[in-house]
Amino acid sequence: MGVDWTQLPPELAESISKKLTIYADYLRFRVVCHSWRASVPKTPHHLPPQLPWLMLPQSQPNQSHRAFFNLSNSRVHFLHLPEASHRKRRCGSSHGWLVILDETPSVLLVNPLTRARRHLPPLSTFPDVVRFDYSEVGREYALRSPSGDVYTRSLTQMRDSFLKKVVLSSSPLEANGFTFTAVAIVNQTGDLAFCREGDQSWTLIDGAQSYSEDVISVNGLFYAVDKKGTVVVCDVNGPSPSRVGIIRTPRLEEADMRYLVSSGDDLLLVSRYLEIDYGFLVDSMNVNYKTAKFDLFRMNWAGERWDKVENLGDRMVFIGENSSFSLSASDFPGSLGNCVYFTDDYSESNNESGVGGYDSGIFKLWDGTIQELPPYPGNSNYEVHWPAGSLPLWVTPNPC
């Protein structure tokens, strides 16, 4: 007689489920039979970071569903997500949560997989904002510049350009008894500002001005980098003022953009170099850019310098408007290691002339070539139009 697997003791079924590391496998395990489904939690809290989905640009402006391309099976998932639809701007993706801005002061966190929501303090509570008034149409915000001058911005201008990126220390639902923290890069001044869960306003991090290229969270600390490759380490966990330390590395070759990535025990710096895309050059007023190459460096903590990286092994680096991160390709069958998976996070105007495309792809370190980023036309269940408006974005599916 065969074994009736549906009669596994509940504690054994739960023990097996905790060995699963891929969310799709966990879901399949739960639907095998009623007894297995009853034996394991609906929400797995043990999963490591998952292979990200690519949130695709909206093909129609009034859609309430958003398309996500799944790298692991080349399928497209449509999720009901009106929070990230027409006239909304994503301002980052961190631990599976989107940061959403609209034409109000609201700063919304939403998990596209679960629709869970949290609010961060509004834009009107940033220290540079001296006044907010809906009745002042077209100049609702008054802000103070570093020189002390006061200038105004509209609701749309604040939504589109006040913040560069918001990064979270953890999922708001996975803080393990601690409050989560958010750090924002302020476009206008290059400042870093933070808020903790429950705060009513944002606080500037003194001593961290101009470290506005990128910011990541590593083991409770925030690391930010400037154009020269100098790194600032911010500890915002204690009472004010925040503790800030600067790692003054030798200056690197100039690059168009810099990203910080935590990869295993290493801190990586990714330098991105752009060039004019002559294939889509219409005239001197409509210039498109594309990525030419990347250089990668590893922090040498003993000498406080960046050492050039020629080979990432099986590591995959994901950069763009998301909170930068790295995964091991061996954990995800079919994935390509020793690569930088990148999206366009610098030019929402690249497509406004009706030509060109988003600057996204897979950079292969071993030969310096760039592969087109899927989904490829005709090779998935979704036709990609790449309309102007929102850029593609990496989002890590997180059920928590």
Residue 375: the pLDDT is 56
- Check whether 16 has a pLDDT greater than 90: no
Q: Is the separation of the CB atoms in 308 and 297 below 8 Å? A: yes
pLDDT, tens digit, 9 for 90 and up, residues 71-97: 888 888 899 999 988 788 999 999 999
- Check whether 356 has a pLDDT greater than 80: no
- Check whether 351 has a pLDDT greater than 80: no
Q: How confident is the model at residue 18 (pLDDT cuts 50, 70, 90)?
A: confident
Mean pLDDT calculated for residue range 172-197: 87
- Check whether 349 has a pLDDT greater than 50: no
- State the residue for tokens 């590395």: 249
Coil, strand or helix at 154: coil
- State the residue for tokens 């998935």: 380
Q: How confident is the model at residue 350 (pLDDT cuts 50, 70, 90)?
A: very low
pLDDT cut 90: percent of the chain above it: 58
Mean pLDDT calculated for residue range 221-239: 93
Q: How far apart, in whole angstroms, are the C-alpha atoms of residue 141 and residue 300?
A: 44
Residue 119: the pLDDT is 96
Q: Is the dihedral of CA 156, 159, 160, 161 positive or negative?
A: positive
Residue 40: the pLDDT is 84
Residue 281: the pLDDT is 62
Least confident of 115-119, 188-192, 316-320: 188-192
Residue 101: the pLDDT is 96
By the 10 Å C-beta count (0-12 exposed, 13-18 middle, 19+ buried), 110 is classed as buried
Q: How far apart, in whole angstroms, are the C-alpha atoms of residue 190 and residue 244?
A: 16
Residue 4: the pLDDT is 79
Mean pLDDT calculated for residue range 297-312: 95
Q: How far apart, in whole angstroms, are the C-alpha atoms of residue 27 and residue 15?
A: 15
pLDDT, tens digit, 9 for 90 and up, residues 98-118: 999 999 999 999 999 999 999
End-to-end CA distance of the chain: 41
- Check whether 288 has a pLDDT greater than 90: no
Least confident of 38-47, 307-316, 349-358, 369-378: 349-358
Residues in CB range of 230: below 8 A, 6 or more apart: 211, 246, 247, 248, 249
Mean pLDDT calculated for residue range 272-289: 76
